[in-house]
Amino acid sequence: MNFRRGSQEDELEINFIPLIDVLLVIIIFLVVSTTFSKFSELKINLPTAEAIPQDKDLDKVDIVITSDNQYFINDVQITDNTIAGILVELKNLKSKFNNDLPTVIINADAMSNHQSVINVMEAARLSGLNKVTFATKVN
């Protein structure tokens, strides 16, 4: 018995619109997430030179901070450990140099206070010595 008179069987269709939507989303994701790098490399031969040791010692001020926060400026211990005391000593040393400002080299012990290093940096700034560097130990 066929109760479906006059009705025809529908043909199956594949709907491509959702497939195209998914592919466009994938393409957009790939374009956005891809980085383009341009690698350029020049092969050059750098000139060489032999360094001749300089006889003149560079103008420098060595400041040593020990683990118990004692200050030594050019191997001379200072008694006043405040910023003002360090500032007085640095101004005295600065007047001994000509127009060239010396480099302040801070040799701080690993166990010294952070504040003691900041005190030296602040005193150097206030005295006008703006070339400050830190000495480290090479293993």
**DSSP string of 18-49, one letter each residue:** HHHHHHHHHHHHHHHH----------------
pLDDT of residue 12: 78
pLDDT of residue 25: 94
In-domain check, residue 54: no
Residue 89: CB atoms within 10 Å: 20
User: Quick check: 61 and 129 in contact, CB under 8 A?
Assistant: yes
Q: Is residue 103 part of a domain?
A: yes
pTM of the predicted protein model: 0.56
Q: Phi-psi category of 79—alpha, beta or left, where left has phi over 0 and alpha has psi -120 to 50?
A: alpha
**Nearest-5° angle of CA 69, CA 73, CA 75?**
95
- Which of these, 83, 98, 87, lies nearest to 128 by C-alpha position? 87
Extract the tokens encoding 115.
Answer: 């504040």
Looking at the structure of the chain, the number of domains it has is: 1
Q: Is residue 40 part of a domain?
A: no
Tell me whether residue 5 is in a domain: no
Tell me what pLDDT residue 48 has: 64
- Give the number of other CB atoms < 10 A from CB of residue 70: 15
Asked whether residue 113 is domain-assigned, the answer is: yes
Q: What domain range is 64 assigned to?
A: 60-134
Q: What is the CATH number of the domain that holds 65?
A: 3.30.420.270
Token pair in block for residue 38: 């341009």
pLDDT along the chain (139 residues), means of 10: 62 85 93 75 57 61 87 88 90 78 86 89 90 76
Tell me if 32 is assigned to some domain.
no
User: Does 110 reside within a domain?
Assistant: yes
Residue 124 falls within a domain, yes or no? yes
Q: Which residues of 102-139 are buried (b: 16+ CB within 10 A; e: fewer)?
A: bebbbebeeebeeebbebbbebbeebebeeeeeeeeee
Give the pLDDT of residue 14.
81
